[in-house]
Amino acid sequence: VVIVGAGQAGFQAAASLRMEAYDAPITLIGEEPSLPYQRPPLSKGFLEGKQNVGNVELRPDAYYRDHKIDLISGSEVIRINRANRSVELRSGQRFPYETLILAIGSRVRKLSVKGAELDEVCYLRTLDDAIRIRQRLETARDIVVVGGGFIGLEVAAVARSMGKSVAVVEAQSRLMPRAVAPVISDFYQELHLGHGVQIHLATVVREIAAGQVFLSDGSAHKADLVIVGIGVLPNVELAQDGGLTVADGIVVDEYLRTEDSNIYAIGDCAQHPNPFAGQSTRIESVQNAVDQARCVAANIAGRGEPYRAVPWFWTDQFDIKLQMVGLSGGSVHLVTRGNPTSRKFSVFYFKEDRLAAIDSINRPGDHLVGRKLLAAGTALTPDQAADERLDLKSLQQQA
């Protein structure tokens, strides 16, 4: 097996193959020079200096030797030769494969305004990006964060906790609009404002120049550091050049296999049929990367099962943990359980009266039960969700 991409999905595919007792050669090829690492801490504890490189590495060096995983770091695969089943590195080196797993992830969307190329403008995706931002945070005083999504808000919370002046600029009319309901966006707006973060909604950057960021609402902010988190784009070019079908991602079936039965695609780069979305979709999350890797490893080991893991996500900002389960997009009926002013509540999302997702703020119990209810397809009505006297666990037990 050759695995292209040594992020969370690629690493997990190699590790799970060995756990499946797959004993043929495994080559794991990564573009970055480092050992495979976890990304979630990069916008949280790592930026704050609470974690270091050793803490974010998924496994130490010895793991790859001990498990006979041939890790090739700092190497870019530039071509897939499907006719002779091999991949080619930029160096010209070739690796033959029997099975190829594409775990090539996504890359940051770039800001395209005047001044976006200036040195003080940073993106956060890789370990090197995080090291660079962490160094700059030591001396920076005024920070403008572009994008009020996960990256932007997690970074804003860290920077503000360090006492920096922070302004967040979000193009849409509310925070985290891609992922959560307005009630959650409002909660986060209050949270950030309460900590002294300035927020500009429905606003974009017009220009960055001479230590200032000029916004579309006419305001200007001093900035010695600009951190941009305006989403990611799936890496599909390698697959496309290899003649595979791509749409929003590399198109795979429910077994995560492309139209070439020797090639799988997993993680951020894969557009897959997802029972919780009710359609083909692409999911950017650690859970999806890990579970798709496990699914492909099982398929290669001959225990073929379709991918049907329950999607879940989380974000930590200041002292608040938001846990999300299911896919809320397209939900029409929303029910709040608990009271937002208590800083402990959940939003239940229903599509055609079926539970679709739950977002929980400081209510881990709701999240854990939600994972089980969604996995089992247990019926829950909006009235039951709203009734705090009903123990959700009892429904799960009945089911």
Smallest distance, Å, CB 136 to ligand NAD? 18
Q: Which is nearer to ligand NAD, 169 or 361 (CB)?
A: 169
Q: Which is nearer to ligand NAD, 63 or 349 (CB)?
A: 349
- The answer to the question of residue 357 lying near ligand NAD (CB under 6 A) is no
Q: What is the separation of C-alpha 56 from the centre of its chain, rounded to a whole number of angstroms?
A: 16
Segment interacting with ligand NAD, rule: CB under 6 A, options 7-15, 22-30, 73-81, 307-315: 307-315
- The answer to the question of residue 249 lying near ligand NAD (CB under 6 A) is no
DSSP state letters, 133-191: HHHHHHH--EEEEE--SHHHHHHHHHHHHTT-EEEEE-SSSSSSTTTS-HHHHHHHHHH
Among 4, 122, 169, 250, binds ligand NAD (CB under 6 A): 169
Please give the angle made by the CA atoms of 231, 232 and 238, to the nearest 5 degrees: 170
* Cβ-contact 41, 56 below 8 angstroms: yes
Segment interacting with ligand NAD, rule: CB under 6 A, options 47-55, 84-92, 146-154, 298-306: 146-154
Q: Which is nearer to ligand NAD, 7 or 147 (CB)?
A: 147
Segment interacting with ligand NAD, rule: CB under 6 A, options 2-10, 17-25, 127-135, 164-172: 164-172
- The answer to the question of residue 7 lying near ligand NAD (CB under 6 A) is no
Q: Which is nearer to ligand NAD, 153 or 380 (CB)?
A: 153
- The answer to the question of residue 180 lying near ligand NAD (CB under 6 A) is no
Among 65, 114, 141, 178, binds ligand NAD (CB under 6 A): 178
Q: What is the separation of C-alpha 191 from the centre of its chain, rounded to a whole number of angstroms?
A: 22
Segment interacting with ligand NAD, rule: CB under 6 A, options 15-23, 148-156, 289-297, 355-363: 148-156
- The answer to the question of residue 320 lying near ligand NAD (CB under 6 A) is no
Residue type, 180: V
Q: Which is nearer to ligand NAD, 89 or 204 (CB)?
A: 204
- The answer to the question of residue 273 lying near ligand NAD (CB under 6 A) is no
In angstroms, the CA 11 to CA 5 distance is 8
In angstroms, the CA 310 to CA 69 distance is 29
- Beta strands (DSSP E) in 42-170 are 69-72, 77-81, 86-89, 94-96, 100-102, 106-108, 121-123, 142-146, 165-169
DSSP state letters, 353-395: TEEEEEEEES-HHHHHHHHHHHHHT----HHHHH-TTS-HHHH
Smallest distance, Å, CB 370 to ligand NAD? 16
Among 79, 86, 89, 177, binds ligand NAD (CB under 6 A): 177
In angstroms, the CA 214 to CA 200 distance is 12
- The answer to the question of residue 37 lying near ligand NAD (CB under 6 A) is no
- By beta-carbon distance, which residue lies closest to ligand NAD? 149
Number of residues lying near ligand NAD (CB under 6 A): 24
Unique residue bearing structure tokens 């590195």? 89
* Cβ-contact 225, 136 below 8 angstroms: yes
Q: Which residues contact 270 (CB under 8 A, 6 or more apart)?
A: 102, 249, 250, 252, 256, 282, 292
- The answer to the question of residue 317 lying near ligand NAD (CB under 6 A) is no
- The answer to the question of residue 291 lying near ligand NAD (CB under 6 A) is no
Direct distance between the N- and C-terminal alpha carbons of the chain, in angstroms, rounded to an integer: 40
- The answer to the question of residue 149 lying near ligand NAD (CB under 6 A) is yes
Among 315, 323, 328, 346, binds ligand NAD (CB under 6 A): 315
Among 12, 16, 43, 258, binds ligand NAD (CB under 6 A): 43
In angstroms, the CA 364 to CA 28 distance is 35
Among 148, 234, 242, 249, binds ligand NAD (CB under 6 A): 148
Residues between 217 and 246 that touch ligand NAD (CB under 6 A): 229-232
* Dihedral, 23, 29, 32, 36 alpha carbons, nearest 10: -20
Unique residue bearing structure tokens 């709203």? 386
- Interstrand relation of 344-351 and 333-339 (parallel, antiparallel or unpaired): antiparallel
Among 14, 69, 151, 265, binds ligand NAD (CB under 6 A): 151
Smallest distance, Å, CB 287 to ligand NAD? 9
| List of residues contacting ligand NAD (CB under 6 A) | 43, 146-152, 154, 169-172, 177-178, 204, 229-232, 284, 313-315
